[in-house]
Amino acid sequence: MEVACFLVHAALTCRRKAIDLNRALGATWNVAIVGHAFVQSLDPAAFFTRHPAMPPSFMLAVCNESIFYAVHLVEEIIEKNVVYAAHHAGALATIGVALHSGYFQPMLLVFGIFTVSSPFLYISKWAHHNRMDDLAKLTFALFAAVFFVFRIVAFPMVLKYTWIDSIDLPDLHIGAYITCNTILSALYVLQWHWFQKIATIVRKQLLK
Q: Where are the domains of the chain?
A: 2-207
Per-residue model confidence (pLDDT) at position 16 = 55
Mark the ranges of the chain whose per-residue pLDDT is less than 70: 1-3, 5-17, 208
Per-residue model confidence (pLDDT) at position 15 = 61
pLDDT tens digits along 110-167: 999 999 999 999 999 999 989 999 999 999 999 999 999 999 999 999 999 889 988 8
In the three-class reduction of DSSP (H, G, I as helix; E, B as strand; rest coil), residue 143 is classed as helix
Q: CA end-to-end span of the chain, whole Å?
A: 46
Per-residue model confidence (pLDDT) at position 105 = 87
Contact 40, 105 (CB under 8 A): no
Q: Determine phi and psi for 150, rounding to 5 degrees.
A: -90, -50
Contact 27, 119 (CB under 8 A): yes
Per-residue model confidence (pLDDT) at position 17 = 65
Neighbours of 58 (CB within 10 A): 23
- Cα separation, 95 vs 67, whole angstroms: 11
Per-residue model confidence (pLDDT) at position 140 = 96
> Which contiguous run of DSSP H or E holds residue 136?
helix 133-147
For CA atoms 161, 164, 170, 176, the dihedral sign is positive
User: From residue 191, how far is each of 50, 78, 144, 185 by CA, in Å?
Assistant: 28, 23, 12, 10
- Cα separation, 136 vs 133, whole angstroms: 5
The number of C-alpha atoms within 13 Å of 56 and in the hemisphere containing its C-beta is 2
- Cα separation, 31 vs 118, whole angstroms: 9
Per-residue model confidence (pLDDT) at position 139 = 96
Over its C-alpha atoms, the chain yields an Rg (Å, rounded) of 17
